[in-house]
Structure 1
Amino acid sequence: MKHFNLINAILILFSLNSVIAQSKIDISEKEARLLSKEAFEFGFPAVFIENQFYVNSYVTKPEGLKAPINQFAHSREFVDASNRQYVGNNVDVLASLASIDLSEEALVITIPEMGDRFWLMQLINTWNEVPAVPSSRTHGGEPRTFLVAGPKWEGNVPDNMELLRANTETTLIVLRLYCSGKEEYKEVNAIQDQIKITPLNQWGKNYEAPSHVALKENFDGNRDVDEIVMSLTPEEFFNALNKILVNNPPYEEDQPFMEKISKLGIIPGEEFNYNNYSEEVKEAITFGVADAKHAIAQRVKNLGQLKNNWILTYDMGRFGTDYNYRAAWSLIGVGGNLLEDAFYPTTIIDEDGEMFDTNKYAYKITFTKEELPPVASFWSLTMYDIQSYLVDNELNKYTVGDRSNLTYNEDGSLTIYMQKDRPTEDKVTNWLPAPIGPFRIALRLYTPKEQVVNGSWIPPVVQKIK
């Protein structure tokens, strides 16, 4: 009897070992490396934006540019050159930001009267794409009530509400309001105070947002998002992606790719467990993720067409199945505007293809009367140092544009001067102060006209003043 039990025990142990061996995912090292690279690029926006969602909401009550989930945070004034928290600071609009969770209920967002003020409310989904963006271009300046619903919501839209369907449950909102400067802060802040989020089941019940919300557990919301994401191990990253995919589905055109990476274990709701792989395959996955990070960093250097030495991007918020491109934009630019709402050419090089350097030259850009930025709203040109921070200067002047008191030439053309030293008094009005050494400039065209959208308008080259 003891001998029989011993044999049974051996057989059972053998069977268990066979099951464990069979549970190992059957994939070659070469394929694992390639699939992990492609899967990381594909999933990067989802993991990045989920962490952005929680960083933006990591406060117990609205504070600065952070607010608890389903509440707005508001920028109340423009930053100056001392602000090094964000790169590429915008000094054209004041922003209101929200992290909204659509898993339990649809949300009602009320927008007050805007008059003729430029505004847009951008929904940004898990994939860094824009499923909806009502704006002054599409809706004018009348008060509006929107019902924002997730992909699984079913119900009747109440009267006098417009449905905005977000295709992921984790969604960010960026609402931009034009502001001319300090003289308008009070007026724009008053508009911001009237922008409200209300759960649909609380609509009409004098709802007040919670005055105190607990912080997310086991999360450090004081770290930079890129630091959080880039420090994840491959196992942590892919496990996070599998969880995110459950309630934030990819697009229909992504399904063939989803089937492809399922062989690696990227399956919605499944646990991504390193114990399912041999040591050699685990090493290959690690190399594949490193390959992806390198490829994303390389793509960041080439995110648009180069014309007249300006980088021009026409497909922000609509990336298709170019996952490497989408990942690169997610790393440096969550929430880029759709082309019909805003166009942002940037450059760091002059007419000769050389990097700007004010230790060597002063610079100018001249728009002929026919070349002036064609917009239905407004345009600006902003100066940044080479790290994309605003530039400290004696005038506290960071941008010029069609709202500035610029001096036009007799033939209707416009010349803007970019240099570190103060020019002669006749040029000060058109002077955009530059830092010592290299710099970067960004044009912003709000509600660009058709010749911008179809690519027939290109900014003129920046010239050296010799």
Structure 2
Amino acid sequence: MIKNRRELFSVSWTCASLAGLAFLAGCASTPASSPKSTGWIKNEVADSYVFGYPLVLMDVAREVANGTDPGQAPVNTLRHAQALPPVGTGRPATPGIDTLDSTGWLDLSEEPVIVVLPDSHGRYLDARALDMWTNVVWSTAAQSGAPAAARAAGVRQQTIAFVPKDWHGNLPAGAKRVEVSTRYVWFTARIQTNGSRDITAVRKLQHGIRVAPLSVFNGDTRVATVVTRPMPSDMSAAGGPPAKVAALDAAGFFGRLAQALADNPPAPDDPHALKILGDLGVTPGAPVQLPAGASDAIAAGLAEGHERVASAPTNVLTANGWSWFGDGVGNYGPDYALRAYAAYTQPGIGTKDDEIRATVAQDSDGHALNGANRYVIHFAPNQVPPVRGFWSITAYTKDGALGETTPPRVAVGDRNGAKRNRDGSLDVTVSAARAKAANWLPAPRGDFQLVMRLYAPKPQAGDGSWQPPEVVRQ
């Protein structure tokens, strides 16, 4: 059964807040010698951790990516993936092998930043921009007036201007204005590739994407020319930003959050969250002063925050062992639980109109998937992934790396010529040992997971009316 019940984080927050107010109201009549409850501190630390996690993660990721050291690049600069990801362990988690990515961090502190996308000539190109709270502020899939079929078939040349809030001035002719309330924007573009022989064509399109501050775009030679550099490790790489955030103690996490809040305020519907942070001594741009004498409560709240960020809320879609994001992803409003979990599990995820990524690590009997076994995924004629673009299934180790398979880097999907049965159904066979089946997907030899990607999905993929089939052990 598919689960899609919206779980508003504000409910638990309100309970914690009432507990805190009750505590404060009782202070006037409580003798000085009576011990003070710290339960409200634990609750508010946990709530605030979930609230602030996406901003802290994005801020750490930006710091790791920007600079002049090897693997880094300046702001307002795109870094391009130049080849398909390598096999083996210790690499980015569940790297895509259908596209080559370009990514960069835009700094809107002084002026707008202009992005020009080239005509992709029918090749699938997905681009999106996220604010520092991981909300999608613009994407190719969400462009108003663009027919869905046209979006799936590629993009036309277009100019987008990412503009600081309340900025006034002249933009390039024809540029689409996108106002952003945070200082930084994370921009990504993914271009479909048909394997290693297709890399040259993809690189040509990559270098056709232009990113420049407005003054540079208008020809101000006093500002340094924007350059391109190889893409550094993915945000989900081992030891990457999520690991760095997880290693922060309470003072480090909330100190980072306070500093990031100064340039990246939350949405207008978040004033209550700032009030709770203020109760904990966390003020935008100021040094953090967490409650004294409450180290145990703070540590317990931090541990609970870690657990809640990594726990799927009830409005994540689940069926037949698979899980994926549907409505609400990419534009979260006050659903802080979904926002934090999405940032933790799929950093940079777009809306349900951009891409859907379903994952599974167990078979229909609830056992872990293992390459020593043979599995079949049977799609009924009306159950094939509903997309306007294309879809694929890839096998990874349980840690998210591409396994040492033969042939390497193989995905099964309609782009790879997946063959249907006479009745229109489709069977995918998954195993480490080579199979004679038409749609064989090589798997790692040990425990593994499957990721199904739907590019330019149709609405039923995100509203719960479609579900992927179970993985059956043969």
TM over 0.5, shorter chain: yes
1:93 and 1:179 in contact (8 A); partners too: yes
Larger radius of gyration between Structure 1 and Structure 2? 1
Alpha-carbon distance in structure 2 between the residues aligned to 1:209 and 1:162: 23
The one-character-per-residue Cα deviations of 1:36-86 (angstroms, maximum 9, x if unpaired) are: 2211221111111101011112335xx66x422110000012113136320
Counterparts in 2 of 1:112-151, with a 5 A limit? 112-135=118-141, 138=146, 141-151=155-165
SS at match of 1:403: helix
- After superposing the two structures, state which structure 1 stretch, 225-234 or 299-308, moved more: 299-308
Select 2:323's aligned residue among 311, 314, 319: 311
1:54-453 map, 5 Å: 54-60=63-69, 66-82=72-88, 84-135=90-141, 138=146, 141-205=155-219, 209=225, 224-274=240-290, 277-278=291-292, 280-297=293-310, 299=311, 304-314=316-326, 315-359=328-372, 361-424=373-436, 427=437, 429-453=438-462
* Structure 1 unpaired stretches of 5+: 1-26, 214-220
Distance 1:293 1:352, change over 3 A: same
C-alpha separation in 2, matches of 1:205 and 1:170? 23
1:154-212 CA-to-partner distances (Å, cap 9, x unmatched) read 32333211112223112211111111112221111011112111111222317552669
Find the aligned partners of 1:286 and 1:464 in 2 and give their Cα distance. 43
CA–CA distance in 1 between the matches of 2:227 and 2:125? 28
Matched with 2:49 is: 40
Q: How far apart are residue 339 of structure 1 and its match?
A: 0.3
Whichever residue aligns with residue 454 of structure 2, its letter is L
Query: Pairwise CA RMSD of aligned residues?
Result: 2.6
Quote the sequence identity (%): 27
Cα distance change of structure 1 residues 246 and 212 upon mapping to structure 2, 3 Å threshold:
same
Give the SS at the match of 2:138. Answer: coil
Task: Give the letter aligned to residue 321 of structure 1.
Answer: P
TM-score for both structures, normalised by structure 1: 0.84
**1:199 counterpart letter in structure 2:** P
Structure-2 separation of matches of 1:303 and 1:85: 30
* Aligned length, in residue pairs: 422
Instruction: Give the AA of the match of 1:458.
Output: Q
How far did residue 357 of structure 1 move?
Answer: 2.5
Deviations 1:196-251 (Å, cap 9, x if unpaired)?
Answer: 111112223175526699xxxxxxx9962133223333223222212211221111
**Which whole-Å CA distance do the structure 2 matches of 1:159 and 1:389 have between them?**
44
Unmatched tracts of structure 2, length 5 or more: 1-35, 230-236
Give the residue type in structure 2 aligned to 1:389: A
Shift of the 454–31 alpha-carbon distance from structure 1 to 2, 3 Å rule, reads: closer
Name which of structure 1's ranges 299-308 and 432-441 shifts more when overlaid on structure 2: 299-308
Aligned equivalents of 2:168, 2:295: Cα separation in 1: 42
| Structure 1: distance between partners of 2:127 and 2:218 | 23
Return the offset for 1:89: 0.5
